[in-house]
Each structure stands twice: as C-alpha cells, then as structure tokens.
Structure 1
Amino acid sequence: MIETRKGINHIALVCRDMKETVDFYTGVLGMPLIKTVELPDGGQHFFFDCGGGSSVAFFWWKDAPAMAPGIASVKDFPYDAKTAVGSMNHLAFHMDEADLEASLDKLEAAGVPHTHAVVNHDDSQMGVAKDMHEGVFVRSVYFTDPNGIMMEFAAFTKDFTPEDVRHEPARMDA
C-alpha cells in the first residue's frame, strides 16, 4: 500500500487570466504566491500557499480551451451542481467554525459571488438545515473565484466515527 496520509501537496487548476488569479488568491484569500514557472510552450504555472503545507496551483495558456460550466465546473450552485466525470466539482479550504460568519462579510466587501449565509450540512433528506443542530457535521460558505471555480470554506463540527459510514457505494450498472 502506498502511504498517502500526509495530506495534499497541491491541486493544479487552469485559469483564464494569471494576473486576475494572482490578485484574487493573494489579495482576497490571503494566500502568498510562493513559486512561479514560465512553461516552454508559453504558458505559466504559479503556486499559492493555502496553509498546512498544501498549495493551490494554476496553469495558464493563452490558447487554453474555453470554460465549460455544467461540464467541467459547477453551473449554478446550489441548483445545478453536477459536473462531468473527471472534472473537479469544488475545492474546500479548512476554516475554523468561528471564522465562517466573518468570511461572508469579507467576500461581500471584495465583490466575490458567494452564498449569503453559512450552510449547515446534515444527514436530512435535503442534506442541509436552516439552523445549527447536533446532526450538522460540516458548516460551509461557498464562493467562486474569477475563473468560475467553485470554492468552499468548510469547518467540520464533529469527529467522524464508524457509524458515519453507512451507505453502500453506488454502481453505474445497478
């Protein structure tokens, strides 16, 4: 077995404008730019420190394929959040629960599209609850970056136990 429990080194995404992306990740999200690379094909690859030894990296190419909402990215969260097999649905950053409310104000002040309330995820049929209760396992704020990538600030509210794993994995052919 390969040891993979040291965390994520980085996730690599694609942006439409590197300057706009640098301004957003450094200025709005406060992630230091830690490495830049000029690629031999004229592109760029930049890395941002997102804490805990992990990075968010972006590729940029002048001739990159166009955005594909509803295929490669979320089209309209929470109403149409499905994305294609092999795509990235969203990227969640750990945040302390006490900081979630303040993040809403900061996103609003920066003009970033976002949910206008903290979302309480639970095991109900809808998967969310209006109010905090003992069944809420994660609280979230969702927003999009300048590239249309859905992001999340997430705070787990409980430690998981074996009882939290109770669903059989679905099969395409079933």
Structure 2
Amino acid sequence: MKTKGINHLALVCRDMEETVRFYTEVLHMPLFKTVSLPDGGQHFFFDCGGGASVAFFWWPDAPAAAPGIASVKRFPSDPKTAIGSMNHVAFHMDEAELEASIARLQAAGVPVTPMVVNHDDSAQGVSAQMHPGVFVRSVYFTDPNGIMLEFAATTKVFGRDDVSHKPASATRPMEA
C-alpha cells in the first residue's frame, strides 16, 4: 500500500454558514465542493493547498462540543484531548508568512498566539529565540467551532537523529 498524502480531513461544525465565512473570508481557502446529505446534513470541502482539503460535516442534531475531551480546552495551558480525538489541524505555510498571518487573523477578530512559537528539542519544547535546533515555527488559533488550528513552517530537513525516542506504552512505564 502506498499513500500519496492526506486527501482531506473531515471535521464537524456547529454552523455551516459561519464555518464557510471563516474558512473562505478569513483563511482564504476556496470552497470547492458542497454535498447535501440524505439525513438533512451537509458536507463541504475547502482547498487548503498542496492538493489537500479540509472538510466539514454539519447536522442539525449533532452532539454538542466537548472541549477538553474531543477538542483542546485551552491552548497552551490545557492542550490534552481524549484518545481517538483530533487535537488540532496544522496547515503548512512559508515561514515568511507567519508574522503577517498573526496580523491578518487579529484584524479579523480571531484570538491568536501573540507571537510565533519556535518548536525545538529543549526540555520546554519551545524557545523564545530562533536557533538551529528549531524545527517548526507556528501560530495557533481556533476556528468558530473551537477547533484548534495552526499555521506551521518547517525550518529544517529531518534526518535519522530526529527519531530518537522510544514509543511509550500504556502497559509499561515510559523510558527516559
């Protein structure tokens, strides 16, 4: 089996009109396909670049949101979500676009991390300064449905040394 990447990620929204407005007007992702479902729901697709899309389902009787279970409760102070949930969606962006994206989101009234987050391999996982160990620079925000989104710019080419941790197991303690 050989996959070619992500075709689409399907999420659930509380209001399709509000979601279309956010993804087309704020994030500038073209709406390219709409589907009316036989159960009264809708399924809409947005082009997020690189041949991938983000899609939303809407149903008039969908269960309510469950922050802290099915979505992030509060980032960065409470980022955990339940097993089987989706934590966030990261859209690739050129590094040169990150600062401007903060201003664009703020102009649209979207709460956003006030600065670009530099992800590195330090004990904290982030650095206040850009340095050669930073592997991704990010901006975080949420959509109208409470879904955490990220604009992420990879800043290095990954190699063998970037895979250095043993996977944790629920049945035995994590090794250092």
Do these two structures clear the TM 0.5 threshold for a shared fold by scoring above it? yes
Show the counterpart of 1:118: 116
Task: Using structure 1 for the length normalisation, give the TM-score.
Answer: 0.98
Q: Which runs of 5+ in 1 are unaligned?
A: none
Show the counterpart of 2:2: 3
Q: Distance in 1 between matches of 2:141 and 2:83?
A: 22
Q: Secondary structure at the match of 1:75?
A: coil
Amino acid aligned to 2:53: S
Q: Secondary structure at the match of 1:131?
A: coil
Show the counterpart of 1:171: 169
Displacement after TM superposition at 1:7 (Å): 1.2
Show the counterpart of 1:57: 55
The Cα offsets for residues 41-83 of structure 1, whole Å up to 9 and x where unpaired, read as 0000000011111110000001000000000000010000000
Q: Distance in 1 between matches of 2:121 and 2:50?
A: 29
Runs of 4+ in structure 1 displaced over 3 angstroms?
none
Structure 2 residue 74 is the aligned partner of structure 1 residue 85:
no
Show the counterpart of 2:157: 159
- 1:6-17 matches, cutoff 5 A: 6-17=4-15
Q: Distance in 2 between matches of 1:114 and 1:72?
A: 20
Choose which of 135, 138, 141 in structure 1 pairs with 2:139.
141
Show the counterpart of 1:69: 67
Show the counterpart of 1:30: 28
Q: Which runs of 5+ in 2 are unaligned?
A: none
Structure 2 residue 105 is the aligned partner of structure 1 residue 127:
no
Report the aligned-residue RMSD.
0.4
Show the counterpart of 1:100: 98
Q: Secondary structure at the match of 1:64?
A: coil
Displacement after TM superposition at 1:36 (Å): 0.3
Q: Distance in 2 between matches of 1:50 and 1:127?
A: 27
